[in-house]
Structure 1
């Protein structure tokens, strides 16, 4: 059996790598033979039983880590996840469950999904599925227990805020479709807004439907929000670009080592609108297909890009079916947008904590030009025409989010105000904010900022040093001042905390469509986009490179 697998793998390797037989045969044959004989000996002699599937998956994962982050292997039990990523739909219950502080908590329920129809709520803690305890199980195991064939049922045991006993919820699995466009609408009498979260199979259809509806309402200008959009299907990106550029234009080109991956993708249909002013908003989480759309519209001077440098993922993945219903997603080429630049980051192994590319030295960049002759650059991602400083939350707000205080208070608020549905322009009142502060205190929330951590370290060092009493008073005084400052932070950052609370509370009632109920007045990118669209001369001068 080992020789059969070895021989099969060897032949496929030689066929698909394109290497000449005489150049690589010996090295490939030698190393595959070593691997096969090593595994055979381990399986025969190792003191404990070896799980062959787990061992192979571990070795494959380790091998692929030496390549780029996007070449992945999908074993048979993960094929459903693979299909979900490509189609934007799956057989399941329509809820996102994450591990929070050792518990499996529902963090999103999709509207009209089986989970929604069964009465599942954000904040529910799932303890059992079909009688199987989830204690100690990871997210992958949880996902496999939740997904299944349409028409089958999953019986969930959940703990809910305000309920003394666990609840039993029976959910009938069905095809779950996650929307690409969770929100669109008119911001004012002229400007329309479309939020695109993914590029799955219906992205272009949803964009076109939203565009045509708002066009009928008098839309004269468009804001396309691609912030946080991780990308998806290439054909959907091409289709969306085609809405706004003439038929027959180059949208994107792929170039790879193997000639069959060298392709040019053109706009094949008549456009929807060639004149409407467009602003595309991007940030450091806008990747892949988002960068093709924003970069292509920028290269044709068809729209102004606002926000921050995009993620910088310009690698093309293709899928290869393997034996036993497994799949390999392998990087086969790079994307090049119409100006000729590649959006792939030069170094995809090292990024900033927020996922952004970071500053690329000018010496490593190459200059390209848009249709109007504006200079644009490669090196990683799409640079916005108008840069807007990203919103950075305070240490306090980040801790309230990471430790679940804002999430848990929103859950409490919802169950105490089920019939009081917040609508447009909802804000957290000062009275409600005081209730939140009382809640955090009752829950034992302990706010520790960087300054306090540094002081604690200093106090620890001082206690081990002779002469501590000589400056103990000064440290004590500093501690008192720091405690006063921490209390003041709850007022200093009150407005941003209230904004985060409002978003979390709105999600309990309006699912992933919260943007529909949020005021854009505090959204810096939207406000900058509106300014540009209102100033026709400025909009045109940006696209002309003046």
Structure 2
């Protein structure tokens, strides 16, 4: 036997037992996992049956199961969710960008449906419905008596009629609408910002995102655009494939746009551009803010990492977790987080760590001092992780402070704009001015409304005071506690005043939209919005633009 064959046999004798042992360990591990899952399912099934058969009061099996599912998912991240049949259908609508309904953005609040924004020339608008209207009844169904998602009642076959009863400024009204096909545009607006700079709003990443973005820029080029502002502010994301395609408009073929990493091998993937760059060399500024998430961060992150354009605004949301829907029985689905997104330079987009929580059970955010430095692909300039995309140019009004976020969450800005609309009349878009006197009126209105915003400091004092009460020490410290709470309230009022620029900007935007629809808002912003002004400024200053990128 030759030495070569002898060597091969020796290697086989060494490797085969190792491979066999590895397979046995892998199989054993899989079997252990499978056994543990089967064991827990069996225990749960038996317990579920015993409770439904033997509990002292009547139980609702569906409600019990819903609570069990909610409890299981609560320990994970907020994006791993259970979808009913209706929610599965809604996700399909979001991807397609079209549905049949009344043509309005709505939200549910306190047993009623609030019209958030009627879209121009769609059924809700034609019927005279306005932002702030409170729908309390649809046909014969009272919203307060309806347990499921009442917004689904507004949808139906094209041409079908529905009657809504709604409240406006304390008065009850009714309107009859005829449902129509609604086209949800990915690019709701584009226009020339200056004789050489085009402005494009990309509001969502549905199936039409890259196609509509490309068409908008091509049209603007025909009007003289040599540079582009792409507005991704408030864009919550959508289809990963469309994020890659939009990036491909500015990045050449064969370039990495994002990668996904998971402990499951099949979900470790890289996503490359597949076509030639459409707008090669065209100077680009991208606008982002704290509500720009997921696909928006993939686009802005890839543009930044390739030094392809300047990012303007405020740090993006930081949603770098990838979900994939998995089918369940009866048309339902579970949307499961399967991996994390990374930019071309290797930065993780995810901001919050849901697998490591603080003493209050909240996800941990990476501290700024722990941010890691990375180098951009082309120029080697330094960029950082920490979750989300940090702009090259930060604008104060683009960032949402905790007080502003709380005002938005409480619907204070929306509800004040509703009252403002019915007290003021404007026929000229550019004559709308939200003055300092108006802002002071807003502050007074917020205080009279009883705005609730608990600071971290306030929460800590409240817990300490409760401990003192439990230990019967509250009589000794009540006076000091009350004085401290009063000081905190004064500090919160000062915080609202300190954040006047960003709050005024949001109020102005909401008010403009009431009179002149979303198209009017975008036209107003082109001339008045600080982030757009900053983007125009950097695109017009070639030396500053190049200095940032190099």
SS in 1 for 2:149: helix
1:364-443 alignment runs, 5 A limit: 365=372, 367-390=374-397, 407-408=414-415, 410-411=417-418, 414=421, 420-424=426-430, 426-428=432-434
Residue 338 and residue 171 in structure 1: after superposition, are their counterparts in 2 closer, same or farther (change >3 A)?
Answer: same
Deviation of 1:137 (Å): 5.4
Cα deviation 1:296-328 (Å, max 9, x = unaligned)? 111211111222222222222112222200112
Match of residue 141, structure 1, among 141, 149, 153: 149
Matches within 5 A, 1:39-438: 39-99=48-108, 103-135=112-144, 141-161=149-169, 163=171, 166-345=172-351, 347-348=353-354, 359-362=367-370, 365=372, 367-390=374-397, 407-408=414-415, 410-411=417-418, 414=421, 420-424=426-430, 426-428=432-434
CA-to-partner distance for each residue in 1:325-348, whole Å, 9 max, x for gaps?
011211222223322333223614
Instruction: Answer with 496-505 or 73-82: which moved more.
Output: 496-505
SS of equivalent to 1:347: strand
CA distance, structure 1, for counterparts of residue 364 and residue 125 of structure 2: 35
Give the whole-Å Cα distance in 1 for the aligned partners of 2:240 and 2:246. Answer: 10
Task: Please say if residues 104 and 124 of structure 2, whose CA atoms lie closer than 8 Å, have aligned partners that are also in contact.
Answer: yes
8 Å CA contact 2:314–2:398 kept in 1: the answer is: no
Corresponding residue pairs, total: 508
The equivalent residue for 1:13 is none
| 1:465 to 1:234, Cα distance in 2 relative to 1, 3 A | closer
Q: Distance in 2 between matches of 1:379 and 1:395?
A: 19
CA deviation vs aligned residue, 1:60-114 (integer Å, no higher than 9, x gap): 2221222222211102232233223333333332223335566543221122333
Instruction: Tell me: CA distance 1:376–1:423, structure 2 relative to 1, closer, same or farther (3 Å).
Output: same
List runs of 5+ in structure 2 lacking aligned partners.
1-25
Aligned to 2:45: 36
Tell me, in whole angstroms, the C-alpha distance in 2 between the residues paired with 1:89 and 1:391: 30
For residues 341-364 of structure 1, what are the alpha-carbon distances to aligned partners after superposition, in whole Å with 9 as ceiling and x for unaligned? 332236146899xx99563443x6
Distance of 2:227 and 2:39 partners within structure 1: 62
How far, CA to CA, are the matches of 1:274 and 1:396 in structure 2? 42
In structure 2, distance between residues paired with 1:172 and 1:122: 19
SS at match of 2:339: strand
Compute the displacement of 1:228 (Å): 1.9
RMSD: 4.4
SS at match of 1:128: strand
State the partner residue of 1:527: 533
Q: Rate the CA distance shift 1:372–1:290 in 2: closer, same or farther, 3 A.
A: same
Change (3 A) 1:284 1:408: closer
**TM-score, with normalisation over the residues of structure 1?**
0.78
Change in Cα spacing, 1:351 to 1:215, as seen in structure 2 (3 Å) is farther
Q: State whether residues 181 and 206 of structure 1, in contact with CA within 8 Å, keep that contact through their aligned partners in structure 2.
A: yes
Q: Distance in 1 between matches of 2:228 and 2:56?
A: 66
Pair 1:512–1:350, CA change in 2 (3 A): farther
* Deviation (angstroms), 1:402: 7.0
Please give the alpha-carbon distance, in whole angstroms, between the structure 1 residues aligned to 2:329 and 2:451.
52
Relative to 1, partners in 2 of residues 1:19 and 1:213: Cα closer, same or farther, differing over 3 Å? farther
Unaligned runs of 5+ in 1: 1-16
